[in-house]
Structure 1
Amino acid sequence: MKLRTQTSATLKAKLSSTLKSWLPILQSGMGELEETLNSFGVENPYFEVKSGIANSLSAESAAHKKRHQERIRGAKGGNVEGDGIEQFCIQEESLEEVLLRQIEPPLFPTKNSQEIAKKIIESLDDEGYFDGDCETIANVCSKELETNISATEVERIRLRFSYLEPPGIGALNVIESFRFQLDNLDVPSDVYGLCLEILEDLEGHTKFKKNPLYPKAMRAIQSFKNPPALDFFQKEVAVIPDILVLEDKDDIQVQINDKYYPSILIQKQEKNEKNSVKDAFIKTKIKEARDLVDALEMRKATLCKIGLMIVNYQYEFFKGGEIKPMTLKDLAEDLDHSPSTISRAISNKYLECGRGIFPLKNFFATAIDEETSNTAIKDFVAELIRNENKQKPLSDSKILKLATEKFKVTMVRRTIAKYRAQLNIASSSDRKKLYKIQVED
């Protein structure tokens, strides 16, 4: 009994010291993991973090380098979609950074015009449209600049955005954005004129079909970006999954993606009989390094358990079905951890399976009721719109009716509008305009 008590106390002490580093290591995503480990080494010279990502990417980069260079040489305009490795390593400018760089003379020659332009940038929505109010911006700028700024002046500054990159940014709506983009397009004056006429009645563009310039005009209009900030939407950059779900016939296996994991190299301890204080210091630091190794293994074990539980709960999803309601509390109870710990564990982590790469948080959809998740409803909305009649796009009210009938839940129309916005899907009226500009083959 005494031996068992001593063993239990020793194990508890070891776990306690390991847990100090386990939580921050658990919380870090794969891309941050090495930085987190290195932060523990600031005051510990007796271990070294060997990069798993750098080694793996370096090996893959050598295989892809030649092909990537050929793509660059052959690309027109220098706008090249790099492969996963280059995307992982290159940081792109945000839309705000690109626009702020252009707020300068001669287009914005005064301090007032520049400050107004910056306020307009702050009022752009995620799609790049102006979602602010000129009167409000005028009042704010008047106070900050201690001068009288009118709403008319703000509007005049906004219209100068038609000369900025990306073209179409800062417009009030799709049609104005297309006009902005048309002004940036190098087309003959007669084609330009026809484009303007078509944009005046975009839904009735077919009435211009007899015009011999109609095909050129429509090709120009179809080249426009909609929404204007399309190129700045968050891209699917190369992510490194922590968990791999492998399927072999009816068997599903869960593995940790060890390939990209960093490793910790610990220096060998040499006894220093002449300096017991230094020897004790080295011993302490080496123990801390070993605790990090244990914490790293605990991270793997915890994520592996989470992967197993996700496969257990979401088995139908991995077989082609929908994600079912699953809460952090469900997993926390099964793993004997608090929901906050599980929340840390799934933050910035990804799972790869036969259906693609998914953030772990996707498997913990908020439940609308006990049988339905918001993810299932969003998927249903996306599928409805994907297959809708292009002549009569579905309104949010109609989608709401179909969703409530299918899922037997109570919702309001603004819930559908919110889900549609999260899916980057335009309203039914805007979709109808977009469908109209598609030229029939």
Structure 2
Amino acid sequence: MALGPRLDLRQSQSLVMTPQLQQAIRLLALSNLEIESFIAEELEKNPLLESAGGDDDRTDPADTGEAPAVDRDEPETVDELLASGGGEAALDIDLDNENLHQDSASDRGGLDGGLGLEGIGGGSGEAGEGPDFDSFASEAPSLHEHLLAQAGERLSAGDLLIAQAIIEQIEETGYFFASLLDIAHRLGAPLGDVERVLAVVQALDPPGVAARSLSECLALQARDADRYDPAMARLIDNLDYLAKGNLAALRRICGVDDEDLADMIRELRAYDPKPGCRFGHDRVDAVVPDVFVARRAGGWAVELNGATLPRLLVNRSYYVELSGEAQDRQSKAWLSECLASANWLTKALDQRARTIVKVSSEIVKQQDGFFRNGVSHLRPLTLKTVAEAIGMHESTVSRVTSNKYLSCDRGLFELKYFFTSGIQSADGGDAVSAEAVKSQLKALITAERADAILSDDQLVDLLRAKGFDIARRTVAKYREAMGIGSSVQRRRQKALGAERPREASGWR
């Protein structure tokens, strides 16, 4: 074979992520409030962009040179580079014949003006007025504040001083590494009283707080979950064997078989090694809906929240004026770049709006039972199901549903809320949503009496009687995810709640 230079032709295909495509994908994942900030930056940089106000102040597109509408028959998906634009539209869902049709913006208020949906999401007042979501913002309590509030309900004035000194020394992770002897000397209190108060603090929420070691932290959580039996105690005392993977030694020490040891280890890994980290110091941000859903005859109306989404116009007359004054090539090139950027941005924002409405409309169609009857009728739903129904890629649906919120007459929900896993029905019927199971679980626990607290095993039996084939560990996982305590915690809380009315009325 001769060696030497030669020229070969090869054909290949590749996807090039242009800067515009990258920005279009980024815009799709932003919420309306984030889009508002992005538009404000673009208005500062591009002199050809203008933000239209309300209907009364809006300038005629013919005077400003607004970017012309593109025919609706052009591609409508982000997967096709978000290059198409179009007139404003809101989608209605006719659930009787499962057809989607578009109404004109003039009849419905459009995507850019007042929505005319009074009372959506709890709002009231004049048309177009939304709820004051800033009123819901509050400061999240810190770990120390949370502990002090509980200690004040359980301890006398003298013991409360000791508890305050202990709580002040608890780190953000929830651990207590200070010396009890130093606290006793500083307060002039007996060491036994300080140890007794520490035990009370360790019984507060969150479980595992004020522990002096990882072993003690896990032991406190096991006691709180009513799982601290002799075998679990030996496992916690020998965490070094677990870290080394010496399961044979752990089986021998704990006196259990493989199945019981595996169950204990799973239980242990479910505990929080840093219980204090769940309490932050950041302000709770107000949530503003991106999509409104209102009941209409025969179906639902799905519209974007135009109040948080300014409408952009391209001022072509200003472009003509500046072009006539520009003399050098560099200035003309800059103006052409501003015009191209402005045109693309208006089209990308319009396509983003239509894509969000299309995805939200499909979600509403799939979850019609939820919007009509509540969370118990929420169906299992995946991104793939919605993507296939509307002819988009699954990643596009994922971006659309990120950081977006939907407001309906049942409240405010993140779009991701409607995508849930399924639980097999006990009678072999259709699977039900995990959120529906959580709703039933919460209802059972809320209805329990103080003298008849339901254990997880009893909850499993009751849920199976309702047609939900679910395991005890799944019940415990759902209960903890909803912030509901174990049967021991609930018995303690309801007993404390029953005592308060008696004290208030003077009973002894």
TM-score normalized by the length of structure 1: 0.57
Question: Number of paired residues?
Answer: 304
Name 1:239's counterpart in structure 2.
Answer: 287
| 2:443 aligned partner | 383
Contact 1:25-1:299 within 8 A present in 2 as well:
yes
Partner of 2:28: 26
Q: CA RMSD in A?
A: 4.5
Structure 1: 5+ residue runs without aligned partners?
A: 1-12, 57-82, 103-113, 124-131, 139-148, 161-167, 178-227
Return the offset for 1:404: 3.4
Distance 1:344 1:33 in 2: 14
| Structure 2 partner of 1:428 | 487
Map residues 49-68 of structure 1 onto 2, 5 A cutoff: none
Separation in 1 of the partners of 2:179 and 2:473?
34
Give 1:355 shift. 1.2
Cα offset, 1:421, TM superposition: 1.8
Q: Tell me the amino acid that sits aligned with residue 479 of structure 2.
A: R
> Are the aligned partners of 2:456 and 2:475 in contact in 1 as well (CA < 8 Å)?
yes
1:250 to 1:389, Cα distance in 2 relative to 1, 3 A: farther
Q: Is the counterpart of residue 315 in structure 1 residue 368 in structure 2?
A: yes
**Taking structure 1 as reference, are residues 253 and 94 closer, same or farther at Cα in structure 2, changes over 3 Å only?**
closer
Q: Distance in 2 between matches of 1:252 and 1:298?
A: 21
Deviation at 1:232, TM superposition (A): 8.2
CA shift at 1:43, angstroms? 5.0
Q: Compute the displacement of 1:405 (Å).
A: 3.8
* Structure 1 residue 306, shift from structure 2 partner: 1.3
CA distance in 1, matches of 2:387, 2:295: 26
**Deviation string, structure 1 residues 173-203 (Cα, Å, up to 9, x no partner):** 24999xxxxxxxxxxxxxxxxxxxxxxxxxx
Any conservation in 1 of the 2:133–2:288 contact (CA below 8 Å)?
no
Question: What is the letter of the counterpart of residue 458 of structure 2?
Answer: K
Give the AA of the match of 2:302.
V
| Shift of residue 260, structure 1, vs aligned partner | 2.4
After TM superposition, list the pairs within 5 Å mapping 1:290-309 onto structure 2: 290-309=343-362
The 1:251–1:94 alpha-carbon spacing in structure 2 relative to 1, beyond 3 Å, is closer
Is 2:453 the partner of 1:393? yes
- Secondary structure of the residue aligned to 2:335 is helix
Deviations 1:54-101 (A, max 9, x none): x99xxxxxxxxxxxxxxxxxxxxxxxxxx835437x6x55444987xx
Counterpart code for 1:434: Q
| Cross-structure match for 1:328 | 383
Structure 1, 345-354 or 256-265: larger mean CA deviation: 256-265
Partner of 2:306: 258
The range that moved more, 253-262 or 321-330, is: 253-262
> C-alpha offsets along residues 327-382 of structure 1, whole Å, 9 cap, x if unaligned?
01111222333322211111111111121111111111122346122111111111
- For 1:415, the equivalent position in structure 2 comes to 474
Distance 1:235 1:416 in 2: 32
Inter-partner Cα distance in structure 2 for 1:316 and 1:276: 61
Alpha-carbon offset, residue 117 of structure 1: 5.7
CA contact (8 A) 1:381 1:399 kept: yes
Paired residue for 1:120? 171
Quote the Cα distance in structure 1 between the aligned partners of 2:366 and 2:281.
32
Amino acid corresponding to residue 379 of structure 1 in structure 2: S
The 1:175/1:303 distance shift into structure 2, 3 A limit, reads closer
1:404 aligns with 2:404: no
Superposed CA offset, 1:278-319 (max 9, x none): 112111112112211111111210111112101211111111
Checking the alignment, whether the CA contact within 8 Å between 2:144 and 2:168 is kept in structure 1 is: no
Question: Does residue 361 in structure 1 map to residue 416 in structure 2?
Answer: yes
Please state how far the C-alpha of 1:34 moved relative to its aligned partner: 1.5
Code of the residue aligned with 1:429 in structure 2: it is V
CA contact (8 A) 2:290 2:405 kept: yes
Residues 243 and 254, structure 1, Cα contact 8 Å, conserved in 2: yes
In structure 2, relative to structure 1, the CA distance for the partners of 1:298 and 1:414 (3 Å cut) is: same
Distance 2:415 2:474 in 1: 24
User: Does the 8 Å contact 1:323/1:363 carry over to 2?
Assistant: yes
The CA deviation string for residues 245-287 of structure 1, in whole angstroms up to 9 with x for no partner, is 1113543222222232123344420214522321121111121
Q: Is the 8 A contact 1:21 1:295 kept in 2?
A: no
Aligned AA for 1:298? Q
How far apart are the structure 2 equivalents of 1:420 and 1:234? 26
Q: 1:32 to 1:253 in 2, by over 3 A?
A: same
> Contact conserved, 1:390 with 1:435, CA < 8 A, in 2?
yes
Report the 3-state secondary structure (helix = DSSP H, G, I; strand = E; otherwise coil) of the residue aligned with 1:389.
Answer: coil
Contact 2:140 2:284 in 1 (8 A): no
> Which residue type is aligned with residue 26 of structure 1?
L
Q: Secondary structure at the match of 1:239?
A: coil
- Native 8 Å contact 1:84 1:238 kept in 2: no
Higher-RCO chain (CA-CA 8 Å, sequence separation at least 6): 2
- Secondary structure of residue in 2 paired with 1:274: coil
Which of 135, 143, 157 aligns to 1:87? It is 135
> What SS does the corresponding residue of 2:301 show, helix, strand or coil?
strand
Mapped to 2, the partners of 1:233 and 1:380 lie a distance apart of 33
